[in-house]
Chains A and B, each alone.
Chain A
Amino acid sequence: DSGVTQTPKHLITATGQRVTLRCSPRSGDLSVYWYQQSLDQGLQFLIQYYNGEERAKGNILERFSAQQFPDLHSELNLSSLELGDSALYFCASSVSLERGVTDTQYFGPGTRLTVL
């Protein structure tokens, strides 16, 4: 158990809908990362938040957005869903050390999103 929790575990929805995925980081971790993993693919970095502020952005679609709240939990919002958005979405957290050092990331169990 990494200490990172994600809810829900599974989500099935229809095209055009909007969903929210939730992540609670490990106690004491200030950074949260979101990743997308399509079937049999590696992970695609989406976005990172540090202590409530966006720090880095990867290949995140405009239909997707995220935020980190004062209690450090984070939500990933996916809207106007398409079939191709079906994937595993992972959240990871890290302590986030000084600039220039890449932290070890601890991953949650993921949310499996199926868009029908």
Chain B
Amino acid sequence: DAKTTQPNSMESNEEEPVHLPCNHSTISGTDYIHWYRQLPSQGPEYVIHGLTSNVNNRMASLAIAEDRKSSTLILHRATLRDAAVYYCIRGSNYQLIWGAGTKLIIKP
């Protein structure tokens, strides 16, 4: 199963927007895109998911490219508490197929 591709790490300043990219060029038409994050020493937590349309929730926004080969997680105003590893995941039927994630570093 093809995994997603993300940058190993990214840095951002506190209180600025953050755009985390993800490539999933081999995704099938019925696979969802999920984002989870893992704070230090914790289990992963759900952030957002979508299929074709852009999605918004209280934590973040998800922008999915029209061809569905890439997506971007947007944190509108990053805080120090958002420092975590962010995973872009292909959801296929009942399984989540995890990549290596992007370590997001927030600078005060």
Contacts and interface: CB of A to CB of B under 8 A. Distances in A.
A contact patch SS: loop
7 contacts: A41-B100, A44-B98, A102-B94, A102-B96, A104-B49, A105-B36, A105-B96
A2 interface: yes
Most chain B CB inside 10 Å of its own CB: which residue of A4, A42, A96, A107: A42
Interface residues of A, number: 28
Contacts of B45: 2, 106-107
The DSSP consensus for interface residues of chain B is strand
Interface string B72-108: 0000000000000001000111111111110000000
Contacts, number: 60
How big is the B interface, by class? 20 to 34
B43 A107 contact: yes
B98 A102 contact: no
A8 interface: no
B95 A48 contact: yes
A56 B43 contact: no
